[in-house]
Amino acid sequence: MHGPAALQLTSEGRLKHLLTTEGLSKALITELLNTAESFLSSQGQPVKKAPLLRGKTVVNLFFENSTRTRTTFDIAAHRLSADVVTLDIRTSSASKGETLFDTLKNLEAMQADLFVVRHSAGGAPFFIANRVTPNIAVINAGDGTHAHPTQALLDLMTIRKHKGDPANLSVAIVGDVKHSRVARSLIHGLRGMKCPDIRAIGPGTLLPGDLDHLGVRAFHRIDHGLAGVDVIVLLRLQKERMTSALLPSEREFFNLYGMTEDRLKYSRPGAIVMHPGPINRGVEISNEVADGPQAVILDQVTNGIAVRMAVMAMTISTQQDLVS
C-alpha cells in the first residue's frame, strides 16, 4: 500500500484511522455502511446506548468552528458509552502559541484513545495520524478544502438506503465543488463504490480543474447536468474559502443553479435531493424543494450519527488488536 491507504489501513486492509475516502475499497466502504446500519433500530433511529467504547476516551479536537459535525461526533461517542472531551481551542494552549505537535503530546499523556480532528489546514489530521502512538485512532472531521470522509460515508449510506447500490446510479453534485471538501470526499467514495456516472454542475469558476482525472463529467448548464440523474447533492457557496469574487451574486447563482421544483423535473422521477448543511434557502435550494418529499436532508443527519459510531467502533477495535 502507498499514499493515504498506507497510513489509515493495516496491511490486512482494516481501518486504523479514517483520514480520507480516497482509495477505500468497495468492500471496506460496504463494511462501514453495514456496521452503521447495525446501529439503527428498525424504526430508523440510532440505538441510544451501546457498551462498545466503555472506558475509552474520545477527544474532539476542533481547530475550526463546527456545530453539526462536532455535535454528531459527540452524540455518537456517548452512544458508544465513551468518555468525551471537547477541547475549546479558543481557550486552549494552542491559542497561546502552543504547536500542534505539543498539543498532541499533551493529549496523549492524558491517555486518550481517539482523536476527532477538524482543522482549517489541509493535511492536519494526516500530520497527527503520522505522529500519534500506535494505540490512538484518528478520525478526520474535515481539513481545509481537502477531505471530510465521514460526511461522504453518511451521504453514501443515505444514497444506498433510498436508491440502492451506487454502482447502478447517476449522481450530480451541484454548486461550489471547487472549495468543497465534502464534494471531493464524496467523489472518491462514489468511485470506490463503482458509481458509473458522477457529474459536477456549476459555473467554471466554481468547478475544479481536475474533474476529468477524478472521473467526473462537468456541466455548466443545470438542465443538461440533471438530465436523468438519480441523486442530486447540493453544496453551499464556500464564501469563507474563496480568495476573490467568483460569481456576481447569490441571487444570480440561484437564478442559474438554485434547485427549484421546475429544475428537479429534469432528473429521474423519484430522484433524491441531498445537502450536507447548513442549507441556504433561496441560494442553492428553494423552500419548496428543501421541505418537499424528495429531500432527504434530515435523514442524512440521522445517518451521520450511525456512521460516526461505526467509524469510531471500527478504528478503536483495530487499534486494540494492533497493540494486543
Q: What is the pLDDT of residue 247?
A: 63
Mean pLDDT, the chain, as a whole number? 90
Q: What is the pLDDT of residue 42?
A: 45
Q: What is the pLDDT of residue 241?
A: 43
For residue 137, pLDDT over 60 is answered with: yes
Among candidate residues 232, 252, 172, 159, the one with its CA nearest the CA of residue 207: 172
- Its domain, for residue 143, covers 4-147+304-323
* pLDDT band (50, 70, 90) for residue 242: very low
**Which cell numbers hold the place of 35?**
456496521
- Provide mean pLDDT across the span 250-263: 94
- Axis crossing angle, helix 68-79 with helix 297-323, rounded to the nearest 10: 50
For residue 85, give Cα distances in angstroms to 59, 70, 88, 143.
5, 11, 10, 20
Does residue 241 share a domain with residue 182? yes
pLDDT in tens, 196-221: 999 999 999 999 999 999 999 999 99
Tell me which residues are annotated as active site.
68-69, 96, 118, 148
Among candidate residues 231, 249, 230, the one with its CA nearest the CA of residue 239: 249
Does residue 272 share a domain with residue 242? yes
Does residue 12 share a domain with residue 91? yes
Beta strand segments in the chain, E: 57-62, 83-88, 114-119, 137-143, 170-174, 197-201, 217-219, 231-234, 272-274
Report DSSP letters for 250-279, one per residue.
Answer: HHHHHHHH-B-HHHHTTS-TT-EEE--S--
Does residue 156 share a domain with residue 287? yes
Q: What is the pLDDT of residue 320?
A: 86
For residue 62, pLDDT over 50 is answered with: yes
- Provide mean pLDDT across the span 69-96: 81
Name the more confident of 218 and 100: 218
Q: What is the pLDDT of residue 154?
A: 98
**Residue 137, helix vs strand vs coil:** strand
For residue 1, pLDDT over 60 is answered with: no
- Provide mean pLDDT across the span 153-171: 98
Does residue 238 share a domain with residue 138? no
Mean pLDDT check: name the lowest of 141-150, 234-243, 312-321. Answer: 234-243
For residue 105, pLDDT over 90 is answered with: no
Does residue 265 share a domain with residue 176? yes
- Provide mean pLDDT across the span 46-64: 87
For residue 87, pLDDT over 60 is answered with: yes
Amino acid at 39: F
- Provide mean pLDDT across the span 219-231: 98
pLDDT more than 70, % of the chain:
90
**Which cell numbers hold the place of 81?**
458509552
First-last CA distance in the chain: 23
Mean pLDDT check: name the lowest of 58-72, 183-197, 229-243. Answer: 229-243
Number of folded domains in the chain? 2
Residues whose CB is less than 8 angstroms from the CB of residue 256 and which lie 6 or more positions away in sequence, other chains included:
203, 222
For residue 92, pLDDT over 80 is answered with: no
pLDDT more than 90, % of the chain:
70
Does residue 288 share a domain with residue 248? yes
* pLDDT band (50, 70, 90) for residue 97: low
Does residue 143 share a domain with residue 19? yes
Amino acid at 161: K
Does residue 273 share a domain with residue 183? yes
Q: What is the pLDDT of residue 243?
A: 43
Q: What is the CATH number of the domain that holds 279?
A: 3.40.50.1370
Q: What is the pLDDT of residue 183?
A: 97
Does residue 258 share a domain with residue 245? yes
Among candidate residues 315, 323, 316, the one with its CA nearest the CA of residue 15: 315
Does residue 127 share a domain with residue 77? yes
Does residue 295 share a domain with residue 156? yes
